[in-house]
Amino acid sequence: MAHNNSVPAAPQGVEVIKDNLTRLPNKPGVYRMFGKDGDLLYVGKAKSLKNRVGNYAKMGGHTQRIALMISLTVSMEFVVTESETEALLLEANLIKRLKPRFNIILRDDKSFPYILIRRDHRAPQVVKYRGSKKIKGEYFGPFASANSVNRTLDTLQKAFLLRDCTDAVFEQRSRPCMQYQIKRCAGPCVDLISERDYQKLADQAADFLRGKVVSLHEQLATDMEAASEAMEFEKAAALRDRIRAIAAVRASQDINPEGVEEADVFAVAQDGGVSCVQVFFYRSGQNWGTKAYYPKHEKDSSEADILAAFLVQFYDERPPPKLILTSHTPDQSALIEEALALRADRKIEIRAPQRGGKRELVMQALNNAKEALSRKLAETASQARLLEEVKKVFELDETPRRIEVYDNSHIQGTNAVGGMVVANAEGFDKKNYRKFNIKDQDLEPGDDYGMMREVFRRRFSRLMKEADVNAEETHAGLNVEERRKKLKATENYPDLVLIDGGLGQLNAVLEVFREIGLVPDDVTLVSIAKGPDRDAGREKFFRPNKAPFMLPETAPVLYYLQRLRDEAHRWAIGAHRSKRSADIKKNPLDEIEGIGPARKKALLHRFGSARAISRAKLADIATVDGVNQALAERIYNFFHGS
């Protein structure tokens, strides 16, 4: 009699959900659904975990997306919360961090910039600021973009003459800088303005950012007339210039006639299963910029669903304003209001206005969303055509999902940096750019091949580790198909790697591949050599074990590949310059034991620079406040090599 020794298949889909359902409480909480290999499929919240998860166990009535998600589920996890509001906040945080496949996800979630007027110095400084608000001062924002901040900072410097230099530069000045000469700073560093008058300028700038523009304008006009009557014509002219600067920015800020003091406006437009959410920021009655987002979601997601998911994720780490205006009423709007109010510790109102000035603001945002989405769809279609051409040119099996481009930058071998940029179907993926500080001390200065070897060794050794690929098995020729399957399954696997350089750079990379246990077929490698006299359009392409070739000078795909290479070049040069600037800014005093910020400041204030200290006599160094004889000898010996 035959025996069946086969192992029964692990439960999946509805069976898994029904099994978990027997143990679930009738309480609020968050649930997570996982697929094979621990892939997170979905994060959801519920007023009653038992009732919500029970809906997934019912046969029929599900959308195609939900039915697929259920069928892929092999395990679930649950967190019970005190309330549905708490569950909503936890759900948003998990979605932002973990990015599940079937959730609506806010992308491009960078922090917004603020303007900070520092109050921890006798001469307040005005700067663009991101991050936690730890510095003593007044914060104004958020602004939609760095450009919005820069425009406002430009106005502040013209109108209020506040410094933007660092404290270190401020303390070392012996005469006013160029900002003073072009009338963008009052020169507090060299006492060209009294401390009291400079504080008054800072207060006026703060009033301007709070929206007290009319009263400020009237005050300046009164001061200008008084100066003119007193025949202080230079002072009157300066006040006139400040009034003009304020008037110019008022004219460009599109101040809402209905008097919206503080609000964020959200409008969502959809087309072809893609959405754009346009956000307008209003603070102190002023428009502080706009920003467009393209959230990731399934094609059957509605505007109400998108806005609901978007708002909670958007305000996960940001303070919400008192009023949020939307083009569509978000799903569970009242619950979202309650959750945001809990986080902000004040009342928050979400409204989809139907008439009046607020409706006009929303319609303006909606029109912007529609226009931005049209541009995005056109760019995506063009990008898709280019990627198809790349597939044909390099004989790829599939349209490339991720392209990595590499370049190096240095000056005679110093501050050497390798750069990697990433491109995909949506353009340049800047959050995945990487820079590699070259660490190998044995490299000859300017050894481009050696630098390229180090970059690829580090990048692809890490890829193999992520894919759990064994180099010894590769060298032995074992499990070739299994190895490639593992590599391609990793999130950051590149379908195409472009190297800025010729055959030498390509051979250097192949050498690394042999060393770490990869073969050319594991990753498609292409090097781009510049044409004779570095002419664009005359580039030659090299591939392992294939003849080099060129593309027609007018081919759109060539322009695309040039753009990728140029972006890698720009990124590598930028990383190199940043490293070089950091080296230049290093002060030798930082290397001397016993010198902290206070003594360093005292030494620089006394002598002006580290070079001047290196030339000073021992007796002069010992006269600086806080520097005793032993420390003075240590400083002197440091600079004189004894």
> What are the tens digits of pLDDT across the range 327-338?
999 999 999 999
- Placement of tokens 């029109």 in the chain: 367
Looking at the fold, whether 449 and 546 belong to one and the same domain comes out as yes
Asked if pLDDT for residue 155 goes beyond 90, the answer is no
373 and 300, same structural domain? yes
pLDDT at residue 207, rounded to an integer: 86
- Burial environment of residue 398 by CB neighbours within 10 A (0 to 12, 13 to 18, 19 or more): exposed
Structural domain count, the chain: 4
Predicted local distance difference test score (pLDDT) of residue 2: 47
Please give, one letter per residue, the 3-state secondary structure of 233-283: HHHHHHHHHHHHHHHHHHHHCCCCCCCCCCEEEEEEEEECCEEEEEEEEEE
> Is residue 134 in a domain?
no
Of 59 and 508, more confident: 508
**Residues with Cβ within 8 Å of residue 540, at least 6 apart in sequence:** 502, 528, 529, 531, 548, 549, 550
Angle between helices 195-209 and 213-229 (to 10 degrees): 140
Whole-angstrom distance, CA of residue 54 vs CA of residue 74: 16
User: Given this model, what pLDDT does residue 459 score?
Assistant: 93
pLDDT-based confidence at 280, cuts 50/70/90?
Answer: very high
The whole-number average pLDDT for the span 301-321 is: 90
Q: Is the pLDDT of residue 255 over 60?
A: no
The verdict on residue 494 lying in a domain is yes
Tokens of 12: 């999946």
* pLDDT tens sequence across 51-98: 999 999 887 778 888 888 999 999 999 999 999 999 999 999 999 888
- Domain at 358, CATH number: 3.30.420.10
Percent over 90 (pLDDT), the chain: 36
Q: What is the pLDDT of residue 33?
A: 94
Q: What is the pLDDT of residue 536?
A: 61
- Say whether the peptide bond before residue 520 is cis (omega within 30 degrees of 0): no
Choice between 607 and 459, residue whose per-residue pLDDT is larger: 459
CATH label of the domain that carries residue 82 = 3.40.1440.10
The model's confidence at residue 253, banded by pLDDT at 50, 70 and 90, is low
Kindly state the tokens that stand for 249.
Answer: 């920015």
The pLDDT value recorded for residue 288 is: 83
C-alpha span between 214 and 221 (Å, rounded): 11
Mean per-residue pLDDT over the chain, rounded: 85
Nearest to 498 by CA among 513, 509, 483, 486: 509
Q: What is the pLDDT of residue 367?
A: 94
Mean pLDDT for the stretch of residues 188-192: 91
Residue-level pLDDT at 478: 55
Residue 527: burial class (beta carbons within 10 Å; 0-12, 13-18, 19+): buried
Q: What would the mean pLDDT of 308-334 be, rounded to a whole number?
A: 91
Residue 620 belongs to a domain with what CATH number?
A: 1.10.150.20
CATH code (residue 540): 3.30.420.340
The predicted-structure confidence for 462-484, as pLDDT tens digits, reads as follows 988 888 777 666 655 556 777 78
Asked whether residue 276 falls in the same domain as residue 409, the answer is no
Q: Is residue 256 part of a domain?
A: no
**What percent of the chain lies above the pLDDT cut of 70?**
92
pLDDT in tens, 7-26: 455 677 888 999 898 889 99
User: Do 20 and 94 lie in a common domain?
Assistant: yes
Residues 456 and 525 in one domain: yes
Residue 314 maps to a domain:
yes
- The gap between the terminal CA atoms of the chain, to the nearest Å, is 94
Confidence of residue 585 (pLDDT cuts 50, 70, 90): low
In this structure, the answer to whether residues 557 and 602 fall within a common structural domain is no
Span 453-461, average pLDDT: 92
Considering the domain architecture, whether residues 363 and 412 belong to the same structural domain is answered as no
The whole-number average pLDDT for the span 585-601 is: 79
Judge whether 382 lies within some domain. Answer: no
pLDDT of residue 109: 65
Residue 63 falls within a domain, yes or no? Answer: yes
Mean pLDDT of 260-277: 90
Report, as an integer, the average pLDDT of 594-601: 84
Query: 312: Cβ–Cβ under 8 A, 6 or more apart, which residues?
Result: 88, 89, 91, 92, 336, 339, 340
- Same domain? For 433 and 517 the reply is yes
Kindly report, residue by residue over 519-558, the tens digit of the pLDDT. 888 889 999 998 665 556 678 999 998 999 999 888 889 9
pLDDT at 440: 79
Assess if residue 368 is contained within a domain. yes
Q: Which domain holds residue 36?
A: 14-98
Task: Assess whether pLDDT exceeds 60 at residue 123.
Answer: yes
Same domain, 436 and 560: yes
Same domain for 371 and 432: no
What pLDDT score was predicted for residue 387?
93
In a domain, 529, yes or no: yes
Which one-letter amino acid corresponds to residue 445?
P
pLDDT category at 510 given cuts 50, 70, 90 is: very high
Q: Are 558 and 603 in a shared domain? A: no
DSSP assigned state of 353? -
If one counts every other C-beta atom within 10 angstroms of the C-beta of residue 435, the result is 17
pLDDT tens per residue across span 373-417? 998 888 888 888 999 999 999 999 899 999 999 998 876 556 788
Q: What is the pLDDT of residues 405-453, one digit of tens each?
A: 999 887 655 678 889 999 998 888 888 999 998 887 777 777 889 989 9
Domain shared by 561 and 592, yes or no: no
| Between 32 and 22, residue with greater pLDDT | 32
